[in-house]
Amino acid sequence: MTALQVTDVTKSFGGLTALDQVSLELRPGEVHGLIGPNGSGKTTLLNLLSGYYEPTKGDIRLDGEDLSRTRVQHRARLGIARTFQKPRLLGTMTVLDNAMLGAWRDVGSNFLGTALSLGRTRREEREFARRAGELLMGVGLGHAVHRRADLLEHAEQRFLEIARALAMRPKFIMLDEPAGGLTALETEHLGRIIQVMRDAGLGVLLVEHHTDFVFRICDRVTTLDLGKVIKRGTPDEVRKDPEVIRVYLGA
């Protein structure tokens, strides 16, 4: 299976270079951590990968196809999903309907059409409800499928966002600080879900400040500082790296 390949990507905002010739390969069946101090470029890289920004230089490829200038929807159809630092849910809709939005994006309908249920057949609807329901059970939200999304606890909203992203049947998933605001127990639960994703062959990019968690569950870790990759390696290699300790982990 093909990797998602970022090659020599630079992203400038006016005079500010947020990313400076960054390369990264996200492989199927791998959990790849992305760490670094605030402002080091992690979110910018995630936005470039998911199609919210275009690179100033360099390219992003999947299966040889240059995705650098394609839109979010196109990338979603090719199997690139993400979650956000603050979960983006449709609050007045049910948990099940939110998860089903992911399944609908999988077949490429647009977001508004999806929300308005345009063009659904009964059979598709049942199939998507089944898939979304299974995923909700899988992330531990089986008890809450008919609840309004905005009435969920913070951690439940995070898990719902993950279920929605997985309903797209992605090949790659990018998680933006998924452990933020979770208790230790909830973080363990998140870790198990990520391991299941890896075992299912997904490539997972994990942007996270909770470094113990990153080092525990990642196969490889990339560290950014001031928009550049300063170290990439196994969790052990990265944790012990003097430069990573100096700029981020502290002595």
> Nearest Cα to 36, choosing from 239, 237, 220, 208?
208
Kindly state the smallest distance separating residue 13's Cβ from ligand ADP, in Å: 3
Kindly state the smallest distance separating residue 164's Cβ from ligand ADP, in Å: 22
Backbone angles phi, psi at 238, to 5 degrees: -75, -40
Kindly state the smallest distance separating residue 83's Cβ from ligand ADP, in Å: 14
Q: Who contacts 2 (Cβ-Cβ below 8 Å, separation ≥6)? A: 28, 62, 63, 64
Between 40 and 109, name the residue whose CB sits nearer to ligand ADP. Answer: 40
Kindly state the smallest distance separating residue 73's Cβ from ligand ADP, in Å: 20
Between 156 and 177, name the residue whose CB sits nearer to ligand ADP. Answer: 177
The Cα–Cα gap between 188 and 148 comes to 25
Between 53 and 128, name the residue whose CB sits nearer to ligand ADP. Answer: 53
Kindly state the smallest distance separating residue 16's Cβ from ligand ADP, in Å: 5
* C-beta separation of 19 from 46 below 8 A: no
Q: Who contacts 18 (Cβ-Cβ below 8 Å, separation ≥6)? A: 11, 12, 41, 44, 227
Between 18 and 31, name the residue whose CB sits nearer to ligand ADP. Answer: 18
* Contact residues: ligand ADP, CB under 6 A: 13, 16, 18, 36, 38-44
Stretch (H or E) spanning 43: helix 42-50
Kindly state the smallest distance separating residue 144's Cβ from ligand ADP, in Å: 30
Between 40 and 50, name the residue whose CB sits nearer to ligand ADP. Answer: 40
> Nearest Cα to 34, choosing from 181, 169, 209?
209
Structure tokens at 168: 């797209």
The Cα–Cα gap between 124 and 92 comes to 23
Between 16 and 185, name the residue whose CB sits nearer to ligand ADP. Answer: 16
Class of residue 49 by CB neighbours under 10 A (exposed 0-12, middle 13-18, buried 19+): buried
